[in-house]
Amino acid sequence: MIDTRLLKENPEMIRNALEKRGLKFDLDGLLDLDAKRRNGITRIQELKEERNTTSEQVGEYKRIGKDTGELMEKAKAISRQIKNMEEQQKALELEFTECIQWIPNIPHESVPVGKTASDNVFVRGLKAPPDRSFHTMPHWEIGEALDILDLKRAAKVAGSRFHVLKGTGAQLERALINFFLDLHTKEHGYTEILPPVLNNRASLFGTGQLPKLEEDMYKCHDDLYLCPTAEVPLTNLHQDEIIPEKHLPIQYVAYTPCFRREAGSYGKDVRGIKRVHQFNKVELVKYTTPDQGHQTFEDLLRDVEKTVQLLEFPYRIMLLCTGDMTFASAKTYDIEIYSHGVKEWLEVSSVSIYHRYQARRANVRFRSVSGKVDHVFTMNGSALALPRVVIAILENYQTEDGRIKIPDVLRPYMNNKTYLE
């Protein structure tokens, strides 16, 4: 959530951020509502002070034996006025909260202004797709030919946009998950978490998925939602806590299955397993101080980048423009792998920093060594998201004779096999 002080002190910063994102929002209406809310708070405080003064006068009158009837009636009238105003104020605060939660995060000054993915900026990696001298079968063809991918039977069980991995295909996905977890815990120093995959409304509000993305999620009973990403439970582990500065930065890694309805995306990427309703993902989340925020963010990006480097994928890193970022992000890098079968760049990780936006919503704070309390900076990155990594292996490690070579770093997790059989 944005800093509410900006509404009074610098509303043009918010207006400018909305324009950069290309979003329409009744900011003037919110400013009027905020003014009413602030005036209400001030007026209630004034009335309480007046009531206290009147009560003191009543006590003084009683002490000297003077009639208190008129003062008592005045005190009662003030109390009734306070009660009425507090009820009005409660309604104002609710309306204000419901309104301000729809304001997105303010983009960092380094984020390019743009409308779509075509306005994103190349950072590093490959500028052009690598050449290949032979025809590459798309993953849905080679996967079915090797009997490691079954889309038809998955549709029997759950419907469209689900998939079944079989035999060494299932082993490959398990190997990838274990490789990712080992890399980030043993080499990068993350603490592994195995979180719930059912998340409550407060947690999804904390990370910014609610209310904006409610239609994209699977809602269950008891106001719980299937986890759309491990970012949600990991960011909310310290909800309503004050963390001592000496414990920062905190860095967590978690594997979870993830669930997304992809509402409104039907008709896009219908072949294969590029866009599915259930997928596995390893997620990285960091908490840190504002002073260390962007340096820690670049460290997080390098941790994710190391993953694609070790898998020896052709990749590039793109800095997203204002119009292509998520609602809660202040800055986002996408890591994309080129896959020869589908002949396109596949996003396998979004690495985002949120500044204090999520921390305000989830109420995650830290106490500095000087004793000052402030909200932490949060950030996260997929490291990595499956099944697009599986797609990249089936297509990029495909040989001319139709076999799939197993990446070197995965062989210890697959009984030292050389090829998928």
Residues noted as catalytic: 260, 275, 347, 350, 388
Alpha carbon 291 to its chain centroid, in Å, reads: 21
Pairwise CA distance, residues 135 & 125, whole Å: 24
User: Which segments of 215-330 are extended strands (E)?
Assistant: 224-226, 241-244, 250-259, 278-288, 315-319
Pairwise CA distance, residues 306 & 298, whole Å: 12
In terms of C-beta density within 10 A (0-12 exposed, 13-18 middle, 19 or more buried), how is residue 408 classed?
Answer: exposed
Q: Which two tokens stand for residue 258?
A: 């993830």
Give yes or no for a contact between 386 and 279, defined as CB atoms under 8 angstroms apart: yes
128 DSSP assignment: S
| Secondary structure element (H or E) that encloses residue 177, with its range | helix 168-182
Residues across the chain? 421
Q: In 3D, which of 321, 354, 334 has the Cα closest to residue 207? A: 354
